[in-house]
A and B are shown apart, each in its own frame.
Chain A
Amino acid sequence: MSSTSIFQQYKHPPIVEAVIGVVFDSNVETETVDKIQKKLKKYYSNIQTIRQLKVPISPPLTAEQSRGVIDEEIGRRRSTSDQTEIVIVQKNSITISQLAPYTGWDTFFKRFKRDWSIIKRSLGFRPIKQIGVRYINRIDIPFEGVGVRIADYLKALPNIPDQFGTLSGYSVSAEVQMPDSHCILRLNSGAVPSPLPNCVSVVLDLDLIRNQEVPQSDEEIFATLESMRARKNAFFEATLTEKTRELFNNEST
């Protein structure tokens, strides 16, 4: 058993984006979405509209669908000017996101609680059907021409027989049920084009979702998110090797 703490601090954590999401049982009125995003303006100066294009390709079922492409406003996105802090208010969900540089769970969670308090004042009580914590990591592995043995860095890999030869790409998707905590973990991982020169990059996306016995009170929601974060951390640490940990503690590139 690794002695590494699940709350290990790294000098250069590989977190690209951290997300906390709340999904409601029913849609919120458009006016309420608008009211919420206006109240968040103080903390997020920029605003954009998120739209969704639907293109019906099967026989049309409604008069609206038969008119062709549907361009629908589905929410508002607010962000800070440096684009590291984002909040998305949609008709059935709220998503709060932190992009790199990641400033730590305490700071991120404090922001979530602040924004949740603002949102609830406009929303009132709404039954929640799902909450989630998602961390998207990207592990950048330097290489000098020969290639990288991914198994030296990650334990969540496809099991490919050796006679297939060298992998030039891969991806893994898995879902793990955790009945004890009523959670589902979705893991997505795979090689991606690296934004850095002379590096191989691998994404490790851990999405922890709870849609059963969902807490409804603030106190329970916060406690649940904290424990989900701890579970997510445990999974994260379990996928790493010591070599990966060394990468996260090396000097900046």
Chain B
Amino acid sequence: MDRKMKKGQLLPDDHHVMRHVPWARQSRDADGNVDGILSQAFELRQDEPGLSVNWVEYHKDGAPDPEAACIKTFRRTLDIKRSAVFGIGNVREISKITDAGNHSIRTEYSPTDENSSHSSMKGKALEDLISREKLATSVFVRLIKNADVQP
């Protein structure tokens, strides 16, 4: 894994990112059984330049389980609740999503002081509800429960 990537560079197509999804944005049945992620999990907050994700493959070096290591990075940098889940999406699949105006989503490397694996999903397509629904139902389909990952 090339850790010399510069800020703003696009992540490789065959790599993956992980999105933290809190309890309120998980899709569930009427009895509370989680069955996915809502499209609302991909809404930008006001003044947010891009959707925050962590780069999974960044954790590949020296970690037997990069996905677990990625979750531990989340825990170190954010207030992650026990009920949270993490969705994993492939960078190429993310980039294939376009809105009616043919705008797409790019995933770029955007490390911070606290989190060297931090990346951002950006693009006008994120303003489109169907694009967000596609992310929720077709791209970020693999989920890991926070409660299932040991400290």
| A contacting B, Cβ–Cβ less than 8 Å | no
By a beta-carbon cutoff of 8 Å, the part of chain B in contact with chain A is: none
